[in-house]
Amino acid sequence: MLFRFIPFLLFLLTNSIAFAQTNSLAMSYGIGYTIPNHPAFPEIKSPSNSMELSWSHKSNGFWSTLNGAAVFNLNAAFQNFGNNTVLGYALALTPSMSLPILKKRQFSMQLQLGWGAAWITKKFDSFSNPDNIVIGTNLNASVSAGLEFAYKIKSLEPFLGLRVQHYSNGNAMSPNLGINMPILQTGLRLLIERKIKAYDLMRWDNKMKDSTFVKYEFPKLKIPFRPFLQLGLGISANIQRGPFFPVYNLNAGAQWLYRPSKTLWAGVEYSFNSAVYEFYQNNGSISDPRKFNRFAVWLGHEWIFGRVGFFALGGLYLNRHANQRSLFPTQTGINFYPRIPYFKPRHQFWIGVHIRAYFGLADYIMLQAGYRF
Distance CA 72, CA 57 (A): 5
* pLDDT by 10s per residue, the chain, length 373: 444 444 434 433 333 333 445 789 999 999 999 999 889 999 999 999 999 999 998 877 777 878 888 899 999 999 999 999 999 999 999 999 999 999 888 999 999 999 999 999 999 998 999 999 999 999 999 999 999 999 999 899 999 999 999 999 888 888 888 999 999 999 999 998 765 544 444 444 444 444 334 443 555 666 789 999 999 999 887 666 667 889 999 999 999 988 888 999 999 999 999 988 888 888 877 778 889 999 999 999 999 998 999 999 999 999 999 989 899 999 999 999 999 888 888 899 999 999 999 987 889 999 999 999 9
Alpha-carbon dihedral of residues 351, 260, 144, 112, nearest 10 degrees? 160
State how far Cα 83 lies from the chain centre. 26
What pLDDT was estimated at residue 232? 97
What pLDDT was estimated at residue 174? 82
E strand residue ranges, the chain: 22-32, 48-58, 71-80, 89-104, 107-120, 139-151, 156-168, 179-193, 225-236, 245-259, 262-273, 293-305, 308-317, 329-336, 348-358, 361-372
Distance CA 241, CA 261 (A): 42
Report pTM: 0.80
Domains annotated for the chain, with CATH where assigned, are 16-193 (2.40.160.20), 218-372 (2.40.160.20)
- Amino acid (1-letter code) at residue 95: P
What pLDDT was estimated at residue 228? 98
Measured at the CA of 8, the angle between CA 97 and CA 80, to 5 degrees, comes to 75
State how far Cα 350 lies from the chain centre. 16
Distance CA 95, CA 114 (A): 6
What pLDDT was estimated at residue 239? 63
Count of Cβ atoms closer than 10 Å to residue 232 Cβ: 22
C-alpha pair distances (Å), 21 with each of 45, 54, 74, 321: 45, 17, 17, 52
